[in-house]
Amino acid sequence: NAGVTQTPKFQVLKTGQSMTLQCAQDMNHNSMYWYRQDPGMGLRLIYYSASEGTTDKGEVPNGYNVSRLNKREFSLRLESAAPSQTSVYFCASSERLAGTSGTGELFFGEGSRLTVL
Amino acid sequence: DAKTTQPPSMDCAEGRAANLPCNHSTISGNEYVYWYRQIHSQGPQYIIHGLKNNETNEMASLIITEDRKSSTLILPHATLRDTAVYYCIVRVKTGNQFYFGTGTSLTVIP
């Protein structure tokens, strides 16, 4: 059981280049998330998808786009990378809201380390 | 969205209980309190969550005040492997969102 898988794990881009971070989960979770974490900082929510076919902005959506391709996959795209987007990106998924069955906890991938020169 | 306030850092002696506080004074009645931790630069790991009552699992205990404005995560016998950043999160009702703050960096001292 792989859980949440992110690719690539490392990437170096030049300013202005585009790229897509891929995320897939095999736990049949409805909700998926993208976070970024800058050095010495907490995680900030970029976008999330509460269910297949829906996406919503989080705290820091500017400069990013997302696609919920199907229930398993949620991708994050940088159309024109900037040095300010140098960060570690985490994808996560969760089953359902607490109070129904399950804890509603987040399961995280290992992170994708992006450097924009 | 309810915001949380945590001390930026704490130390704890190995083998002692680590008590990590969190203030969430604007929490709504049906919002849950979650705790996660992040070791080095790994993805955060779920620890425990609660609504009103105190909770305990194999990792920790969660004490929520009666007015729900604050909570404390208790690691009963801290080990060196518990050195991590601990995040207290209040889960918003709609949209299934989790907002992390900057957390508390706990250092367990031998």
pLDDT tens for each residue of B62-86: 999 999 999 999 999 999 999 999 9
Does residue B81 sit in helix, strand or coil?
helix
Which of A48, A88, A110 has its CB closest to that of B97?
A: A48
Closest CA to B13 of B85, B103, B83, B87: B83
Pair of tokens at residue A70: 């199907």
Which of A42, A44, A97 has its CB closest to that of B96?
A: A97
pLDDT tens for each residue of A35-75: 999 988 889 999 999 888 899 999 899 999 999 989 999 99
Tokens 């060196």 sit on residue = B80
Does residue A107 sit in helix, strand or coil?
strand
Q: From chain B, pick out residues whose CB is under 8 angstroms from the CB of A111.
A: 41-43
The predicted structure's pLDDT at residue B31: 84
Whether residue B45 lies within 8 A of chain A, CB to CB, comes out as yes
Q: From chain A, pick out residues whose CB is under 8 angstroms from the CB of B97.
A: 45, 48, 58
